[in-house]
Structures are given as C-alpha cells and as structure tokens.
Structure 1
C-alpha cells in the first residue's frame, strides 16, 4: 500500500510581513554592495548621515486610505532636461483634478519644504531635528508624510523636480554635495560612486521608505544630449567635463529605473518617459525653421494633448483634458553648435554613441 507523499503547507505571510522581509533584504543588499565604496569615499563623506536606517523594517504599514490620499510625483531627469518647463505643465494639470465622487479639488504642492527636508535635508532645522537624520529614518518619514498628506478629506499631490545632479542651493545643503572629484572620473566611475548615489538624494532609500505611505510616480525626462549639455555649458568647469558628469548620472538613473519598474504593492507602473523635444514647436518646424504653418501647429497641439492625456492616465487622474497646461511654456532657444562649437559637438556625439543602449530607458 502506498503512503501518501507528505506535502509541506505554505506558510501564510500577510502584506506587512512581506514588506518587512523586503525591507530587510533591500537594506542588506545595499549595505553589502556599498561597503567597499563607502570605505573609498569616507574621507570626504559623513557615512553616519548616509547609512540606511536599521529600523526601516519596523515602520508600521499604513492604511490603504493613507496611500490613496497621498501621491508624490517626481519629475526625474539629468541636469538640463527642462525640469523648469515641464513642472508648470504638470502642476497645472494637477490643479484641474477633482475627486469625481465629492467634487473636492486635489491639494497640489510643488516644492514642498517638508518633503525637501526629507529628501535633501533642506531647509535645515525642520521637525525639531538639530541634525538631518538619514533619508529613511522612520521618525523623519512619519513626520514628512503627516505634514504633506494630512487626513483632511483631500487627495494630496506633491510634485518635486530637483535634477540629478543638482546645482544651486541644493548643492550646498543636500546630505552629500556635488563633488569636484567627479571632474576627473569616468562616467562609469561616477555612477558607481557612493557620492553620486546619494546626491542630491538616494532614490533607492527614498522609494523604499516612502512607497508604503504614498503612491510614488516618476515622470522621466529625456532631452537630446547636445541640447542638455549646452544648456549648462559652464557647469563642472566646462562642457566636456559637464558631459562626463551628466553621462555618469544617466547611467545611475537608468540602473534605478531598470530595477524599479513596478509598484511593490499594486504592480502598476511607477515611471513613464517624456521626450521633451517632442512637445516643442522646434520639433515640428519645417526645414526652413518655419513654425507658423497650420499643419505643423496642428501636429504640435495634438502631440501636447496626447502627452497630457497619457500623463493623466498614468497618474490615475480623472481629468485628462487641460487646454491651458502649456500657457506658460517657452521653447528653448539653445543652439548647441553655437554654444559648444563644432569640435566639441563632434567629440560629444561620439561620447553619446556609447550611451545610446542605456539612455533613454525603455518602458515596459
């Protein structure tokens, strides 16, 4: 007589348990992967400020209602990819949104100082912290979420657009500053450095810590490389060095996006790609530079309408039409040949060929 084969029943794990395990595994892998690089960079970087919080796994899982009322939309791109042009379009679209059941308008915040303190430790001294805690510190995350997404019957949309890398005040105030050492490194070396991974913020730690509390989406910007470099030609001691730094960040961003395609809780897409040149009138001008042809204007308007509609659908916003979203849009006048010169254009074109398989990232 045959004996029935023993079958091991699967152990039931609820969502919170899985999140704990996921967070612990994520922290272990980040710590192991970054150990050698931290040793290399510790002379210039305060690793105590940057280390991943060991308490991340015990953050209590919030309610579904909490996550539904809180959405963080990060306009993500390298320096020079027209964040300042895209942000008003997105913000205007967000301000058109209302709860279809209650008619209550969404609360839209751009440049939230509360979120910026959480991500960049700027402006200093918020929430009673004398020193900025790590990005994924449980108390910090809790305070930021409470401040940006209160339970007041509204859906809260928080829009951020700080570039990678970042100049200006975030250069001076972020946990890790822009590094002059990058001027002497290869793009791959920059992408692998602990400093670049954490400037202006650590995307991995940001997503791991906040996705339990908020629906996080990334609007990824792509702009033709030569225009991107020409727009900040004086950064990093000159266009060729600046191009190296930007290439390093494109590698870094592509790695993050490749490993963060889908929401860990819902399975939905967390990023979409925007070719910013395709919503510019230059893209639809004829060979003589004419922008006035009615058929060309029609193509431009249709491209913008499609972009707005697709973006609203990606973000799960009910209002997909926005006739005034581009009212403040100003086309870039950057002439990269005039700014960079023919010699640099040829060199940069060859550099870019090495990255074409990496950037722009391919959507799923």
Structure 2
C-alpha cells in the first residue's frame, strides 16, 4: 500500500491527531471529519507506519484501531507506553468487536479513551477534545508543581548553600586582613570556624545530591541483606557523626539492638545522622536526646526523642522538601534537606516515618523498617 502523507499544515497552533486504521474506506472519513473540526491530521494504514509518523510528528492524540494486520492496536499501545518520547501521548482505541461493548474493557488495555464502532464523527471529535483537555490540565498541574518547587528552591537554597559559604568567605577575608594582629589562638579559632562552615556546606550539598539521586531513580533499590551487626554499625556511625558535630555526647543515650534489613549501610547511616542531628539542632544543650533501635516482630523500629521546642500540628503537616519551620526564630543549617532526605530513604526502604510533637515539650520520631526474612 502506498505511503499516505500527512495533511497540510494550515496553522502553527493546530493540534495534531494521528489516525491508524487498516480500513481504506473508514480512515479518510475520520480524517476529513477531524480536519473539518480544525485538527491537523496524520494517517497510517498499520502500526508500523503509525510508529514512524508518531516519532516524526509527535501527535497530540493517537486514534488507533485494535484489529489490524501485523501488530494490533493493543500491541502498538504497549510499545508506545514504553517509549519515553511518546509515552504521554493521549491514546484512543477503536474497534468493531462487540466483545468490547463495555468501554471499560478497552480502557483496561491502557488507553485513555475507547470508541466502539460504529460511531459518529461527533463521538470522535468529542473524545479527541476530551483527551486534549485532560492533557492540558495535566500539563497545567505539572507546571504548578514545578513552579512551587522552584519557589521553594529560590527561597531555601540561598540559605542552605550560601549561609555556610558566606561564613567561609567572611572568615577568610578577616583572617587575610588581620593576620598580622592575630594571636595563634585567634587564628586557630578562625580556622576552626572556617572548617565548620566548609563541612556544613559539604553536608548540605551531599544531602541535596542524594535527594536528586533518589528522586530520579538512578540508584537501584538495595538488594543486599545486612545482618544485624552491620545494621548496628551503620546506625552507630550516623549517631556518632551527629553527636560529634554538636559536641553533645553527654546529652545522648542510645539503646541499640539490630535486625536483618534489606538496605545499604550508607542509607542507614544517613538516616540516623539526619534525624539525630535534627533532634540535637532543635533542643538545648544539656537537654536529653534518647535513641532506641529495637526489633518488633516484622519491623525494626528506630525512635528518637528530644525535649526541645516541639512543633504545632500545622508545622508537622508542613514537614517536607525544603521546608524548615520557624527559620527566622530558630535558625539552623541544612535541616530542611536533612528531613527531606530521611523521608526519601524511609520510603525507598519500604518503611514508615511518623512525627509526634508538642510545642515546648519536644518531638519524637518513629521509624519502622521491614525486617528481611531469614
């Protein structure tokens, strides 16, 4: 069968509909009806030619018959959904098979809409218009989400990244300008503060990159099972790192008993470090922070309790990516990213995370991770 060209493009703003049907009498009728309603059209007699046109023109909607020689419409749809460039195209299946009298049967194949032949041009154009409206709503929603995320980034990243960087610059400039007038002890103190700011910035960058990695699914889900002792070592490493950073070894008590987990040591260390760091960062020195790790049936539970300022129910609801409660009043470094990272790690490991908190009484973090089968 000769190649069937696309219709002319009379305007740049037209939506494109690709019609795939092996019936040489019906296909032109559908195309003419769509063009009469202002759509640009493409047409193909089979799935192979339809795939070529879809990749070349990226149509907004694809209307495809199920029963065709060669690859049928269902197979073409499955192939399309696996193609990153075409997976989000709106797809309408059509058939004359009476076994598909229930439209739900066709949509269960993965189509966005379904038409049972015979149908009118009005039925077709209404289905196409509905698909285009749905796609536009989805794009609008995605744009709003991206806009909100960018707003959070703009309001948070200057703090999370630039505050420690400003510390490095400021202290270095002071050291350079006043070097001849400073004692060794003063120089040592300034160098210590520079190192502290640099470490803070490094940790923030590390957390941010870890979040991006988890969100983009570039890291495979951990398949190795850690024995109980390895789990304990990973949690202790995170706990010790947070305690050392805050210089509050006397304030922290830990009861640790491990269990087998399907996880990576790096993630367990990061999880413990970020949540203990959060507890220490939002509580006063010499106030207790209690950490308990213990098996409980099919779960390994990690509970971290502080007696800090606590949070209101509204603040608990706002815990999320790049949100740090009462930043102006309780200035801390990097905690928004730390909590976001902890949430993602728990989710990735198939666990649960919950916060209990009361203002002026403290916060308790409850984590449950599924124990690996023996």
- Shorter-chain TM range is under 0.3
TM-score (norm 1): 0.27
TM-score (norm 2): 0.26
> Which protein has the bigger strand share?
2
